[in-house]
Structure 1
Amino acid sequence: MISLIIYEIATGRVARQITVLDEYERDQNLREGEAYLLGSVNPATCYVKNGEVKAYPEKPQAHLSFDFAAEAWVDARDAATIARDLDEVKESAMAEVNAQIGRARQRVITALPGQDMIYLRKEAEARAYLAASNPVLADYPMISAEVGVTAETAYQVAQVWIYMSQSWQALAASLEAIRLTAANAIAAASSAEAIADALAAFEAALSAASGPTPV
């Protein structure tokens, strides 16, 4: 059995790897514009230059094509395709930013239907309770329900809620600033590498953010 590397004469691209019994079978497998070398290679990782098998250099980006004359990876896309591909990368990056921001928010709030309204009602009731001269607990049903659960007294429950509200507002402002900074950087990016840098900066800023435990 004879192992043959079949390649395109014009480019050097390895078309296929075959095994034949003899020269007749070899010639039957050669197509117009093709030549062969003895040996065995993986067509996906090698090409032929001046009769020598060479390994492709590392491919830095998925969209690049190999220029056999220059023996290098090049961007063969037209301007319209480049712009469209960049827009798709930006869209994917923004989706990732929004998803991570959403998860960061959910780490400090309870994500249930209507829970945001509950938080607003708690804050309003806590402020009203603390502002009252002689508050009657029965007038503050949400505080009353959490006495002995969130804290031991109504005053302490109200204080906890005010603290949580202030902490959440500070964190929400921080997260929104991080999100908008990333969005602006991604929108202004002119390459996939710049988008990757924007995402890396976003993730570093997000990892530094922290917040209170949801109540």
Structure 2
Amino acid sequence: MEYWIVYDLATGAELYPGSGMPGTAAYQQPPEGAGIVVVPQAVVAQQPRDLGALKAALILGVDNDAERARAAIITALPGQVGTYVLKEAAARAWLADNGASTAMLQPEATARGMTIAALAAEVIANAEAWAQLSGAIEGMRYAAKARIAAAATIGAIVEAAVIDWSVLNAPAA
């Protein structure tokens, strides 16, 4: 079963709940000035509504959205993330001491027809760019979580969970 609540966009107050087979909420036509949010069953199981369960579900959604934002920028597989960390450490070590091991860098440099120096510089530049983007994602994620926690109505909770991830693709000012 899928559960939803139709709410007033202006006040955030509940208008009425609904339920149906999974995917049914997408076909509902809320009245003018109303929104609809799919909620866990625990939210509609009692009166007053369990807004804590709604907040928890939307916070999980924010975390999942943040992971999708990361995955749009990097190859977000556990082994690949570990490889990025190892490459950055190897690049920084080699730039600090050209006698450091190149075991992590040499195969890629050879495959790409690059010098170790060029690859190390690229790896460090990518790591620094990723640190900026990753920090922005974390800031957006935690700001949304704080807004959700502070929200008091269904509508305000739903609105608090909305994040414009497209700003990550905007050119730097």
TM-score class, shorter-chain normalisation, is: 0.5 to 0.7
With the length of structure 2 as denominator, give the TM-score of the two structures: 0.67
Identity %: 30
Deviations 1:31-85 (A, max 9, x none): xxxxxxxxxxxxxxxxxxxxxxxxxxx9853339xxxxxxxxxxxxxxx72241x
Q: Does 1:169 align with 2:123?
A: no
Q: Give me the TM-score of the superposition, normalised by structure 1.
A: 0.55
Larger radius of gyration: 1
Which residues of structure 1 form unaligned runs of 5+?
1-57, 65-79
2:91 aligned partner: 126
Q: Distance in 2 between matches of 1:89 and 1:155?
A: 51
Q: Does 1:193 align with 2:155?
A: yes
- Paired residues of 1:182 and 1:198 also in contact (CA < 8 A): yes
Paired letter, 2:133: L
1:210 aligned residue (143, 150, 169): 169
Do the aligned residues in 2 keep the contact of 1:151 with 1:157 (CA within 8 Å)?
A: no
In the TM superposition, structure 1's runs of 4+ consecutive aligned residues that sit over 4 Å from their partners are none
1:82 maps to a residue whose letter is P
Measured in 1, the distance between the counterparts of 2:60 and 2:160 equals 13
Return closer, same or farther for 1:166/1:95 CA change in 2, 3 Å cut-off: same
Name the one with the larger helix percent.
Answer: 2
Q: Distance in 1 between matches of 2:114 and 2:108?
A: 9
Partner of 2:48: 82
Within 1, Cα distance between the matches of 2:112 and 2:59? 38
Per-residue deviation, 1:152: 1.8
Equivalenced residues, count:
132
